[in-house]
Structure 1
Amino acid sequence: MAAAPKKKKNTNFSKYIKWFWILFASGIGAVALIFLLASWDVFGELPSFDRLENPQTNLATEIISSDGKTLGKLYLDDNRTPVVYSELPQNLVDALVATEDARYYEHSGIDARGTLRAVAYLGTKGGASTITQQLARQLFVGVRSNNIFETITQKIKEWVIAIRLERQYTKDEIIAMYMNIYDFGYAADGIRSASKIYFGKEPRDLKIEESAVLVGMLKNSSLYNPIRREELVFNRRNTVLEQMAKYDFISQAVRDSLQATKMDINFNPESHREGLATYFRMYAQGFLNKWVKDNPKPDGERYNIYLDGLKVYTTIDSRMQENAEEAVQEHMKRLQAEFFHQNTPDRNRTAPFLDITPEEVNGILERAIKSSERWRIMKNEGKSEKEIRNSFKMPTEMTVFNWNSPTKEKDTILTPLDSIRYYKSFLRTAMMSMEPQTGHVKAWVGGLNYKHFQYDNVIQGARQVGSTFKPIVYAAAIDQLRLSPCDVLSDIQYCIEAHKHGNMEAWCPSNSDGKYSGENMTLKYALANSVNTITAQLMDRIGPKSVVTIAKNLGITSNIPEVPSIALGTPDINVYEMVGAYGTFANQGVYVKPVMISRIEDKNGTVLYEYVPETRDVLSKDVAYAMVNLLEGVTQGGSGTRLRTTGAKDQSVYKEVVTGYPYEFKNPIAGKTGTTQNQSDGWFMGMVPNLVTGVWVGGEERAIHFKGIAYGQGASMALPIWGLYMKKNYANKDLGISEGAFEIPEEMSINIDCNKSSNAAMDKKKPGDDLDDLDF
């Protein structure tokens, strides 16, 4: 009787076993069917093998300095510069694996154990997405949908793509791709941008705790934002460190030590208007825009400078660029403070404009209004002129440039018209530094602050050059007449007759003080002290045509009329051209066209462009050296003498804010100051054997200037920037800036060894004569 129930129990157990295998087989079949259907694009198109091999991501163009630093990037939406796996620090990889996918090296794209756990606990004990799945979603799937059916199909596609990725790439390549694709916020697309923006360093230099911050952000970079939510990110970083200890990537002692440290965020936002060499980077952008038009891809398509990941190698030295920007900032802040002090509405009813009528001021403001962005936008919107003009009188919240703020910005309320006048009151500057032997431009500062002053005065702005043009007259005279720096002329009133050299009337220039000493003086003394009458005599002997010809050969393309008055620097020329011209003197008479872009490569390293130097012989070696010798006189006993002193002799006249810098240069320096009428423009061109630098300072309008020459001359406005810049350069011996003498040609046919009687004129210079720099 007992045997019958036992037989029934065995039958039921067999039935369970049968159904288990049916369900198991069905599950396997269903999974296989789902993957098969997904591969047939039933759930939406999957990427082809070509796309898997070459995943399309937008890559920023990188602008690289001559010393290998990234100056900046050009991008639209994605500021991404990829790195290879070997450039990632091991601590970053360890943090990623420990936090996101501990069994990463054991699975083939899908973590079965993690998936079952996620299903069993409905995700409460962690998700199941592997690093490979996350990459698949980033590259090909996109943002999760709120629709349950779409979410499931997205997940299925994610699984299929992950498996394909694992077949197509190595584990190391997948990690590199994942770190390159992730958006860390603040235009930090990819690990390289994130490392630079949040820590100011390359990925390979990241410390363990820094890597932990970035890996912690992978959970949600918007939420775990170290700039906005420091405490939250701090805790998340420590969670990552905890995971690293859990999986034995670091010891418990290291974990405890690192968790106790503060986050050392070094925020360096990368934007087109901020960072190092902003003006130069905008020049490079313009260069590339022109280049891509004439240099298409092999398939005829045009390169996209914002998406194609070009690498632009430049001649700019990041260290010298930083020195130049610091020198400009230090001097211009002090100079501007003095300008504001001297030129306030209390002292001048037309401030910041001098020596013009209120009607002329209104004309300047009217032109500014009609050329403004506000006017253009409102005009395009169909606004009436009355509406537009009224808008310029409405108080508006705005952020303006301010020297005294740590950020150089200040929030305020101004009418747009008042803001125009406010910005007009700032003195502007430009500076370019070049290696004369190669033409390589090492530093380029186009203004005070690109965000607020976007006009690049290095190459866009051309202003009267004053006495800095005189060496070109002297060079023509020495070249054609075989004169010597020791030749003597008399400082007497000198007129070039009417109708001579194209004159409509007689030209009789005076010296800056309106006086004539009547004394004989060497050309070296005359140039050092900007004696106008001597320059006029030289101009008369060689003629304007010869001067214009040699100026063109020296690389000056700006318009120079063939009239005698150009001898005193009346032409408008930019800093870029002036530096190229002076470089010829330092390079033994050979002109080398300034170069900024040396090479362009595509994202794969293929060279697309390589600069070919443009050179030409302009002067013989002995003439070029004679010019260097003349220009050395400027810093030995002329308007550049203050470069060799500890500061001003009379602080009551020359306040420390302008001239009191302790330069104390002992090495040979050739240079020339320049000041134009009404002190509207101040120049200094300075040379050592392997570096030529030009500096200009002035107002946006010629009516914006210092009233007196003490502050308004080139020796006060521009020379200090050169002095500060060179002090910083010499402090870094790795830059290799020359401290020795200029090379004397072996066959020197021009006499530069003036005898004592000729040199006596140099000794007659009185204190304060270095102010005789103003040209009319």
Structure 2
Amino acid sequence: MKLLLKRKWIRWAIIVGFAVVGFFAIVYVSVFLGVFGKLPSRAELSSISQAEATQLLDKDGKLIGKFYIYDRQPLEFHDLPQHLIDALVATEDVRFYKHDGVDNVSLLRVFIKNIILGDKSAGGGSTITLQLAKNLFGRKDYVLFSMLINKFKESIIAKRIEDIYSKNNILTLYFNTVPFPDNTFGIESASRKFFNKPAKDLNYSEAAALIGTLKATSYYNPRLHLERTQSRRDVVLQQMHKYDYLTEAEADSLSAEALVLNYKSFNHDIGLAPYFRESVRKELKKILDSLKKSSGETYDLYRDGLVVHTTLDSSMQALAEASMKEHLSSLQRVHEQSYGKYAPWHDKKIVNKAIKSLPAYKRYKNQGLSEKQILDSLAIKRKTELFQWTGDTVENVSTIDSLKHSLKLLNTGMLAIDPQTGAVRTYIGGIDYRFFKYDHVSQSERQVGSTFKPFVYTAAIEDGMKPCTYFSLSAVTYTDFDDWTPTNSGKEENDAHLNYNLETALSQSVNTIAVKVLNKVGIEKVIAQAEKMGIEKKLPEEPSLALGVAEINLRELTGAYASYVNDSRPVRPFAITKITDKNGDVIVAFKPEIKEEQAYSDYTREVMLQIMQSTVNSGTATRLRSSYNLKNDIAGKTGTTQNNKDGWFVGITPKLVTVTWVGNDNHSIGFKTTGIGQGANSALPIFAKFYQKLNADSQFNSITKAQFQTPSDAVLEDLDCEPEKRDGFFKRLFGNKTKERRFKRK
């Protein structure tokens, strides 16, 4: 021994060895003592709290969305299928049940094979508990020796975790925190995202695939690299066979199966009902700001794992979205073809005005750039994703090019509610939330056109006007309103001697008569009636109100129309029924807001419902019967605004009230012709296709087979008259009055 020590290289080897051991010991002790940051105490580890996603559920408890910083949904151990656990242990830590957090046997194997023998197949020596420590507390950059310091930290934390938690609890914590592809945390979120099912329902192939992605979440992302993921899944299955969790035949059989995804993204911009989810998020922000935890802290929408129960029917929503896409994609083609090369989205005045409203233009303007510099900047081309009904494309376009593209696109809004409560069942705020954030249900106010006429007629009947009151189609000039002369569209426009009763006039949406009815009952009474029906917008006191010049929010309009099938009581559409914390305790609950007082009498309601059924059976909405073959009990009203800027349809059934709008976001651009832009052509088909799909699905029978109540004998008697009549000889001889000195006010 003395002779060996006399050899210089041996003495140096021993010194270096002791120095290395000493260095490692010093670093370890330093980490243990908290020199590189405080380590979590036993108490802190005993109450591990991680940010949890808030879940958004539909009316039947189906997950439709989440709000999160980290997409995480925690599970209990009993929710984890055994084959999922087996796949993890076989692949990541086969000695999991034998070590105390740090597997010294595996580390020794790695040291000998990897470092000494150069065998890279020896594995990494990490354990599930070490990975959990990393998942829970992350890693920091210490400039020098970061990997060593982090490894020591994780080993100390892993041992403390093993002292506190059982193996089952460690597995539960691991599965709830481990990162999966697409910024997804926890097995439950990953299972729902990639296979659209809870983790407890994962089969062997799906479980093995998700475990396989842990090796490299980007490289093995099944959404982007399905074949690669399937190959990695097969490795996991072979590992399960190697360690006797599967027989060879079982592993081979499972490997022969194709991996099938059922991807459902909860990304805020895509997926089911994105406009609805964003609307709920805004509402939740206000609600949670007014609530306190028992600790006095406010709730955090993105971290506290809340569960928000909503009124949305996800199955119905899917049908509504499909109907909208079917119709709008077709209507868009017709819209563009109708204009040809002289389309308004190429008009310099319209384009220049739109350019000046762009955020980028305003930003450059504030920076002091000249007009030419701004336009030059906006003309720079770059690769940009553009919305197309045939499939989104990436093109080399400028900001101005992108603007022109968006100017030609039609947009839409659609809301369907339970008229007895106001519960929102479907909600479409636009054609695609990724490209168009503006919500046409909650944010937009558009002229409502002829959909306002039922409010005029409701006020008239409530004021005592009988349904068989006749009015001439003749045009009248109102001299105290700049000689305004409302006219009708259609062949009967100039037939001044033809008279319609109220039912025919409304079902045919006759403009001249609507204004005369407004004049007869008085503007003030019509406005008061609309207010009773839930219209909060200040309405213009002018005769054109009868033709729907007022700009009203789609939500308000829907809630007002609900009164016709809700005992004359309007409702306020609502989306949230209750919010619970992660333990299931109710934080706050909401009830429908229904006015106690009727907005009008039962008689008026029954008359109006009969008249609006005539709109569908023989009026402006007859294509519901003739073209779409709908046999349901339906009342409705079409609407078209001046210059064909807006198309509307209101569909009323006993258990569902639906309002659809179609138009261009730019108010300067309308449809080329009334034939294309009228509500019966632009908006009604969305409702029609929607109801065709509802009719084909028996789960909606309670809605589609519901029937209106039979009106009273008094109502039927008062409606029993000829739909039209012509003036007698003397009236035709002396003619109709075509001038009014002033518009009557009452």
TM tier relative to shorter chain: 0.7 to 0.9
The reply to whether residue 602 of structure 1 matches residue 581 of structure 2 is yes
**Partner amino acid, structure 2, of 1:290:** K
Counterpart of 1:419 in structure 2 is 402
> Shift of residue 377 of structure 1?
4.4
Counterpart of 1:200 in structure 2 is 196
Distance 1:253 1:370 in 2: 68
Counterpart of 2:63 in structure 1 is 70
Counterpart of 2:412 in structure 1 is 429
Q: How many residues align?
A: 696
Counterpart of 2:41 in structure 1 is 48
Counterpart of 1:681 in structure 2 is 646
Where do residues 200-599 of structure 1 align in structure 2 (5 Å cutoff)?
A: 200-345=196-341, 348=342, 350-352=343-345, 361-362=348-349, 364-379=350-365, 383-405=369-391, 409-481=392-464, 483-485=465-467, 487-493=468-474, 495=476, 504=481, 508-513=485-490, 514-516=493-495, 518-599=497-578
> Shift of residue 281 of structure 1?
1.5
**Partner amino acid, structure 2, of 1:390:** D
Q: 287-296 or 207-216, which moves further after superposition?
A: 287-296
Query: Deviation digits for residues 686-724 of structure 1, max 9, x if unmatched?
Result: 011000000011122343223322212110000000000
Distance 1:510 1:67 in 2: 49
Q: Is the 8 A contact 2:419 2:655 kept in 1?
A: yes
Distance 1:731 1:134 in 2: 50
Q: What TM-score comes out, normalization by structure 1 length?
A: 0.84
Unaligned stretches of 5+ in structure 1?
1-29, 648-662, 763-776
Q: Is the 8 A contact 1:585 1:627 kept in 2?
A: yes
Do the aligned partners of residues 707 and 640 (structure 1) sit closer, same or farther apart at CA in structure 2, a change above 3 Å counting? same
Query: Deviation digits for residues 429-462 of structure 1, max 9, x if unmatched?
Result: 1110000011100111111111112211112111
Q: Is the 8 A contact 1:464 1:572 kept in 2?
A: yes
Q: Is the 8 A contact 1:488 1:520 kept in 2?
A: no
Do the aligned partners of residues 126 and 418 (structure 1) sit closer, same or farther apart at CA in structure 2, a change above 3 Å counting? closer
Counterpart of 2:735 in structure 1 is none
Do the aligned partners of residues 253 and 466 (structure 1) sit closer, same or farther apart at CA in structure 2, a change above 3 Å counting? same
Where do residues 666-745 of structure 1 align in structure 2 (5 Å cutoff)?
A: 666-735=631-700, 736-744=702-710
> Shift of residue 531 of structure 1?
1.7
Distance 1:750 1:532 in 2: 28
**Partner amino acid, structure 2, of 1:607:** V
Q: Is the 8 A contact 2:466 2:718 kept in 1?
A: no
Do the aligned partners of residues 549 and 50 (structure 1) sit closer, same or farther apart at CA in structure 2, a change above 3 Å counting? farther
What SS class does the counterpart of residue 737 from structure 1 fall into?
Answer: helix
Unaligned stretches of 5+ in structure 2?
1-22, 727-746
> Shift of residue 740 of structure 1?
2.9
Q: Is the 8 A contact 1:109 1:130 kept in 2?
A: yes
Do the aligned partners of residues 530 and 321 (structure 1) sit closer, same or farther apart at CA in structure 2, a change above 3 Å counting? same
Q: Is the 8 A contact 1:622 1:749 kept in 2?
A: no
Distance 1:613 1:116 in 2: 66
> Shift of residue 277 of structure 1?
0.7
Q: Is the 8 A contact 2:499 2:724 kept in 1?
A: no
User: Kindly, what percent of the aligned residue pairs are identical?
Assistant: 38
Counterpart of 1:655 in structure 2 is none
- Across the aligned residues of Structure 1 and Structure 2, the Cα RMSD in angstroms comes to 2.9
Where do residues 636-675 of structure 1 align in structure 2 (5 Å cutoff)?
A: 636-645=617-626, 647=627, 663-675=628-640
What SS class does the counterpart of residue 184 from structure 2 fall into?
Answer: coil
Distance 2:520 2:224 in 1: 71
> Shift of residue 584 of structure 1?
0.9
Query: Deviation digits for residues 643-699 of structure 1, max 9, x if unmatched?
Result: 111x3xxxxxxxxxxxxxxx2111210000011112111110001100000001112
Distance 2:484 2:226 in 1: 71
Which among 593, 603, 606 is matched to residue 625 of structure 1?
606
Q: Is the 8 A contact 1:494 1:537 kept in 2?
A: no
Distance 1:688 1:632 in 2: 10
**Partner amino acid, structure 2, of 1:436:** P
Do the aligned partners of residues 276 and 376 (structure 1) sit closer, same or farther apart at CA in structure 2, a change above 3 Å counting? farther
Query: Deviation digits for residues 604-652 of structure 1, max 9, x if unmatched?
Result: 333222113211132233322222111111111001111111x3xxxxx
Q: What TM-score comes out, normalization by structure 2 length?
A: 0.87
What SS class does the counterpart of residue 752 from structure 1 fall into?
Answer: helix
Distance 1:172 1:143 in 2: 28
Query: Deviation digits for residues 22-80 of structure 1, max 9, x if unmatched?
Result: xxxxxxxx99999988654356421133432333433333222112222222234x222
**Partner amino acid, structure 2, of 1:303:** Y
Distance 2:224 2:682 in 1: 42
